[in-house]
Amino acid sequence: MLLQDFKPPPDLADLVQLFRIVHLRFDAGEAAPPKAYPPRPEHCLAFYPFEREEVRMDRSGNVVSGSPVVLYGQFTEVTHRHIGRDFLVLQVVFWPGAIHRLTGMPAIELTNQYIDAMAVFGSSVADTLDAMACAKGYPQMLETVYGFLRGLRKKQLRDPRPLDLACMQLLGPHPRFGLRDIAREACLSPRQMERVFKLMTGVNPKIYERIIRFDKAFRIRNARPDYAWLRIAIECDYHDYQHLVKAYRDFTGKSPNAFHELEQQAPERKFGLVEGYYE
């Protein structure tokens, strides 16, 4: 079983934050439990070389399934993901703005959406998936996806702007910039900042910053369940515990304890696997 993040090679590091492989196998006749996937500061390209994933949106109840390669943008709600008995996904987690640079698509078109990546990238996606299915191990799978992304890079439509580079700092383990700093660094007025930020991320700057803070609290709780909620709130720059509770209710519809009780039933927990931080 595997749940691991991999750093990108140097020539892709300005586009890709990390690669994540999740591979889980369940015994014959054993149904994998669904995973409640909270909002994260992620724009992803996900390859499913074997079994597919079915996803139900928490608020609308819409169900998406069947696509072997999926592109999705920023989520602001919980998605409930259902997997098969032998499940493997390789996720490409892009930096903010990278998909827009590669495709020209406004990120708002991907917000709270799963779309078939074939519609965006064409047949090269299917060729990459076929090569992954024949790969001898995870390193070869990663190399196959590296090759696909290098091909995209040659067709890149836009160079990074100052805002792209500044926003990368928001997602580091020790962010150097806040939103005001980013606007100043990018030489943008507040109105320009919001317009360009939505183009890159699909949400406004304040929502994105809230998702980053919420995600940090969520990950700390999973990694350190012995920490008191107040300690987590303070470490994640919430004013107090009630401020943290509001974030959980806004993004998950549940209190912190209630959502983590649900999250502890996720498939990877059966194998003692816990996601770490972006590094």
| Eight-class DSSP state of 156 | -
pLDDT category at 272 given cuts 50, 70, 90 is: confident
Best CA proximity match to 218, nearest among 236, 200, 201: 236
Position 38, amino acid: P
Please report, in angstroms and rounded to a whole number, the separation of the first and last CA atoms in the chain.
21
pLDDT category at 29 given cuts 50, 70, 90 is: confident
State both tokens at 245.
């509770």
Position 131, amino acid: A
The lowest-confidence range among 13-27, 110-124, 166-180, 254-268 is: 166-180
pLDDT category at 81 given cuts 50, 70, 90 is: very high
CA 19, CA 13: separation in Å to the nearest integer?
11
State both tokens at 18.
């990390």
Position 192, amino acid: Q
- Is 2-154 assigned to CATH 2.60.120.10? yes
Mean pLDDT, to the nearest integer, of 48-60?
91
pTM for this prediction = 0.91
Helices (H), the chain: 98-103, 118-121, 124-133, 138-154, 162-168, 179-185, 190-201, 205-223, 229-235, 241-252, 256-263
CA 248, CA 34: separation in Å to the nearest integer?
20
State both tokens at 135.
């790969």
